[in-house]
Structure 1
Amino acid sequence: MKARFHEGCRRQTSRHSPERVRTGTIESVAVTHYGFLSTFPPTRCGLATFTASLSDALVRHDDEGTVVRVLDQPEDRGRPDPRARSRVRTDLIAGDSLSTLRATMALNSCDVAIVQHEYGIYGGRDGDQVLDVLAALRIPAIVVLHTVLVAPTPHQRHVLTEVCRLASAVVVMTTHARDNLAAVYGVDLAGVRVIPHGVQHVALRDSNPHSGRRVVTWGLLSPGKGIEWGIRAMAQLTDITPNVEYVVAGQTHPKVLAHAGESYRTMLAGLAGDLGVGSSVRMDGRYLEAPQLAALIASADVVLLPYDSVDQATSGVLAEAVAAGVPVVATAFPHAVELLSSGAGIVVPHQNPDATAHALREIITGPSVADRMREAALRETNETTWSAVADRYRAVTARLAAGRAA
Structure 2
Amino acid sequence: MNIAIIGTYPPRQCGIATFTQDLFKSLHQDPTLAPAIIAISDGSEDFFPSEVYTSIEKNKRASYMQAARHINETFDAVIVQHEYGIFGGEAGDYILDFVRALAIPVVTNFHTVLQQPSAAELRVLQQLSAYSKNVTVMTDTAVNMLQDIYHIAPRKIELIPHGVPHFSYRQSEAKQELGLSGKRVMLSFGFLGPSKGFETAIEAVASVPNEDFIYIILGSTHPNILREAGESYREYLQTKAQDLGIGDKVCFVNEFASEELLTQYLSACDIYVTPYPNENQISSGTLSFAIGAGAAVVSTPYWYAKDLLKDDRGLLFDFKDSVALSLIIRALLDEPQLLAKYRQNAVRYGASMSWSNIGKLQSKLLRRLITKEATVPVTLPLNGVHHHINNLLHTSSQKLSS
Q: Which residue of structure 2 lines up, in the alignment, with residue 118 of structure 1?
A: 83
CA contact (8 A) 2:24 2:36 kept: no
| Percent of matched pairs sharing the same residue | 32
For residue 253 of structure 2, what is the aligned residue in structure 1?
Answer: 284
The answer on 1:88 being equivalent to 2:88 is no
Q: How many angstroms apart in 1 are the aligned matches of 2:362 and 2:211?
A: 47
Alignment of 1:180 with 2:145, yes or no, is: yes
Cα pair 2:93 2:124 within 8 Å, conserved: yes
Matches of 2:222 and 2:143 in 1, distance apart? 28
Q: How does 1:30-109 map to 2 (within 5 A)?
A: 32-59=1-28, 64-73=34-43, 80-81=46-47, 84-108=48-72, 109=74
**Is 1:358 aligned to residue 336 of structure 2?**
no
Q: CA deviation at 1:308?
A: 2.1
Q: Tell whether the 8 Å contact from 1:216 to 1:303 is kept in structure 2 after alignment.
A: yes
Letter in 2 for 1:99: S
Listed one character per residue, the Cα deviations across residues 350-374 of structure 1 (whole Å, up to 9, x for unaligned) are 1111111111112122111111112
Please list the CA deviations of residues 158-217 of structure 1 after superposition, one character each: whole Å capped at 9, or x if unmatched.
111111111111010111100110111111110110001111122595768531221100
| Aligned pairs (5 A) from 1:4-403 | 32-59=1-28, 64-73=34-43, 80-81=46-47, 84-108=48-72, 109-202=74-167, 209=175, 210-237=181-208, 239-242=209-212, 244-403=213-372
Secondary structure class of the residue paired with 1:91: strand
Distance in 2 separating the partners of 1:391 and 1:134? 24
Q: Is the 8 A contact 2:171 2:268 kept in 1?
A: no
1:287 is displaced (CA, Å) by 1.5
Gap regions ≥5 residues in structure 1: 1-31
Alignment partners' CA distance in 2, 1:283 and 1:107: 43
Contact 1:147 1:311 in 2 (8 A): no
Larger helix percent: 2
**Per-residue Cα deviation, 1:299-318 (whole angstroms, up to 9, x for no partner):** 21101111123111111111
Contact 2:12–2:44, Cα closer than 8 Å, also in 1 = no
SS in 2 for 1:369: helix
Give 1:29's aligned residue: none
Against the structure 1 CA distance between its residues 248 and 126, is the aligned structure 2 distance closer, same or farther, given a 3 Å change threshold?
same
Is the 1:70–1:93 Cα contact (8 Å) retained in structure 2? yes
Give how far 1:74 is off: 6.9
State the 1:290 CA deviation: 2.6
Question: Judging changes above 3 Å, is the alpha-carbon distance between structure 1 residues 392 and 46 closer, same or farther for their aligned structure 2 residues?
Answer: same
SS at match of 2:256: coil
Length-normalised TM-score, structure 2: 0.87
User: Separation in 2 of the partners of 1:288 and 1:315?
Assistant: 15
Unaligned runs of 5+ in 2: 176-180, 377-402
Match for 1:117: what amino acid?
H
Q: Deviations over 1:221-271 (max 9, x none)?
A: 12201111111111111x2232x2111001111122122211111111111
**C-alpha contact (below 8 Å) 2:77/2:370 kept by paired residues:** no
How far the C-alpha of 1:154 sits from its partner, in A, is 2.1
State the aligned residue count.
366
SS in 1 for 2:186: strand
> Letter of the aligned partner of 2:52 in structure 1?
V
What is the distance in 2 between the residues matched to 1:260 and 1:148?
Answer: 28
- Residue matched to 1:19: none
**Which one is further off, 276-285 or 33-42?**
276-285
Structure having the higher Rg: 2
Counterpart CA distance in 2 for 1:335 and 1:347 is: 12
Q: Secondary structure at the match of 1:196?
A: coil
Give the Cα separation in 2 of the matches to 1:359 and 1:187.
39
